[in-house]
Structure 1
């Protein structure tokens, strides 16, 4: 409780960024927060929870709407890296403000400025300060097509008010604090979610897509909620990026590599698309973060308010449908390639058969010529009474020898022609 009817109210703005950090978690990256009994739990699941990249007190902080003197107590700036390598920024602002049940307008005004990042840190806009500090930690800026705004749309504000045991504000006060005078979402479009774990009679927890109000909770629970919200904002950002990147890859494939004619798509055309979609689906598995055990109901309520479970299901269904389409396309390509391979095999077999026939014909021709020639040369070269040196080799006296030679030559010709004679005969009869 503060002086003169004022209380210390903490407002935390959590913002998704365009930066990625790829170094693994170490002991030095544990957040400098009061996690209490959750410290051991954090150490156990270090690789699955946000790790701290940078933390500093802010010396000069200026809101677009000037604060009364003595209102500003403390400002802190944070950078966190998620297991998906997304970098999330946070600004914590401690203010001396009237109690919510006394006057909620100052809290609403400060929350309004935080929603739209209407402040400067050390003379820099929030986006410029994030870029300066993120680059110093070794992070890399990842700018996707369409992300032209200085800050990404994913953000969430948390208002920590009241001390344990303080009277709870009414529903009207809660609505005024969360929805403000000119809210981006009104109550009829974004109803308040109240997780049971944070609403225990003397405590209050109200969650909307863009802002949450926590009243009367312990410090260690506040810091755990802070860390869980960092997870949720980074997850929402990564979901949107995966969705847009997958849509862009599919659109590029349709415009540049998809063949209009049926039966002409090649396997190489699908390779780049399949590789990118596989990487995005792999990123999706790392974007579904592990909740802090102590505040599961808050984590679930926040995810529900930000529509993250539905987004995760939609992304999973999209990848499943894309995988089915790609499998169908690859199956068609496999069928065509199998047909081409079978056709090529048949052509090779036919060519081999034709070559075998040519070889057989050549061998038979050589046999037909060589057998009688060899016989006649041998016959005329021997010293026998049947060979008369005074007669010509073409004399009819040697007719028997020629008949025998021709008969021997006809034997291999008959053997070679035998398989074709029936088909030739049937063809002749049909004609």
Structure 2
């Protein structure tokens, strides 16, 4: 007994207890684009629709509705007039249907998807796939990126153009299969996924075949980093695949943004001593980096790493198999782990630098305490000296002549002694202040910069630091002419 693609037994008309397989005559192409547009999820929560209210998700609709806050939602959908569509490479007729989708991810990101139904074989759709991947398409003379931006409310800001799609995108190719003989062979699969009509060597391919999508004789599931081919499955499985692709593209875009911000923090950390003369300024800069890193780690966890797991929310083998394989084919799992380690190590370096700053602040506090003690001691010394002076003139002794003025030269020795005491006190205070400033300059000189990293490697492991002036390219080879066609002796003479 066998089962046909329509979901019935081959030896009888009794239907099987599950949704029928797709039997459309057209080939459906869906391209998912990441965008720089972001919403506050709290402000558009009421405007976004749950995917089960718009898409046919079959028996899985209740699971998607229950976890709608953790899965993509639908903001807008619009059908295009196919007669007004124009492509750069595709010239085999106009599509039978075209629809533009705007999805909202839990992180607030907006992801755009364009779906076209065309009357063409899988091989014939390759030029159209190329046009769709690079958004080389216009509707009524307007580029696709501009149309998508206008529908979402993104308008030009002065002379600045409207920001277009981001590099992250993925394409889905859906096709129906009636019999096992019509299942696309391996060569057709690779030509569609690589968007090129060229032969290949099977041992050098990155195409993944999820087991659950290839279990039936009339079902095919093949995934690549940029294109996936799904044939012979039910309509609700295709919609689940679309939602998984939207989640993956959004996660890839957010992962790249996290990496860019992390590199900006690395640059600020490496050049943290530039223009920062005090420990307070350094502490403020390091605290800003630490606060940003905590937000990046949280975003990495909830927008990328958690998004790779859908089996907890939707208990469906085929959906989970495709979702996990797609994240793996796009390299999101490994990249998320790498960027997570980078954030953790940058956080450790920042914490170590904060400890160094705290040590500097403690030493500065100790110096201030010593300076205060010295100042009080200095004042005490002066008042004590004056008390000694006036006490000397107030004693009843023969050395004190009441007939002489206190400024008489007869009292020069006592004045010299008092002056010497005061000068010693001033000298001690000045010497301690100079020592404090020297220690402060020494602490600032210990600040590790990017150049200091090279010096550390040169000191510890023998790394050689080259001088660009001594590079071999700076020396003229006999019989050759320097760059620019002017001889060095000519330039020297000109100077």
TM-score, normalised with respect to structure 2: 0.63
Distance 2:266 2:275 in 1: 14
Secondary structure of residue in 1 paired with 2:116: strand
- Please say if 1:88 is aligned against 2:108: no
Any idea what the Cα deviations from partners look like across 1:296-345, whole Å, max 9, x if unmatched? 11111101110001110111111111111111111110001011112222
Distance 1:45 1:356 in 2: 75
**Deviation larger for 27-36 or 126-135:** 27-36
Kindly indicate whether the alpha-carbon contact (under 8 Å) linking 2:77 and 2:99 is maintained by their aligned counterparts in 1. Answer: yes
Q: 1:268, CA displacement in angstroms?
A: 2.6
Aligned match of 2:247: 231
Any idea what the Cα deviations from partners look like across 1:257-292, whole Å, max 9, x if unmatched? 547999997313324433433433333233224343
Secondary structure of residue in 2 paired with 1:84: coil
**Deviation larger for 126-135 or 302-311:** 126-135
Q: How does 1:221-300 map to 2 (within 5 A)?
A: 221-252=237-268, 254-255=270-271, 257-258=273-274, 266-288=282-304, 289-290=306-307, 291-292=309-310, 293=314, 294=316, 295-300=319-324
Aligned match of 1:57: 79
Extract unaligned runs of 5+ from structure 2. 6-22, 397-495
Point out which structure has higher relative CO (alpha carbons under 8 A, 6+ apart): 1
Q: 1:152, CA displacement in angstroms?
A: 1.9
From 226, 230, 248, the counterpart of 1:214: 230
Aligned-CA RMSD value: 3.7
**Deviation larger for 114-123 or 293-302:** 114-123
Aligned match of 2:342: 318
Aligned match of 2:371: 347
Aligned match of 2:131: 113
Secondary structure of residue in 2 paired with 1:324: helix
Choose between structure 1 and 2: higher strand proportion. Answer: 1
Q: Aligned in 2, Cα 1:140/1:330: closer, same or farther, shift over 3 Å? A: farther
Aligned match of 1:199: 214
Secondary structure of residue in 1 paired with 2:114: strand
Distance 1:262 1:371 in 2: 53
Q: 1:13, CA displacement in angstroms?
A: 0.5
Kindly indicate whether the alpha-carbon contact (under 8 Å) linking 2:48 and 2:75 is maintained by their aligned counterparts in 1. Answer: no
Q: Aligned in 2, Cα 1:195/1:113: closer, same or farther, shift over 3 Å? A: same
Distance 1:301 1:238 in 2: 19
Aligned match of 1:13: 31
Kindly indicate whether the alpha-carbon contact (under 8 Å) linking 2:31 and 2:113 is maintained by their aligned counterparts in 1. Answer: yes
Distance 1:258 1:44 in 2: 52
Distance 1:140 1:267 in 2: 39
- Please say if 1:35 is aligned against 2:49: no
Distance 1:189 1:364 in 2: 97
Count of residues in correspondence between the two structures: 357
Q: Aligned in 2, Cα 1:181/1:300: closer, same or farther, shift over 3 Å? A: same
TM-score, normalised with respect to structure 1: 0.72
- Please say if 1:74 is aligned against 2:97: yes
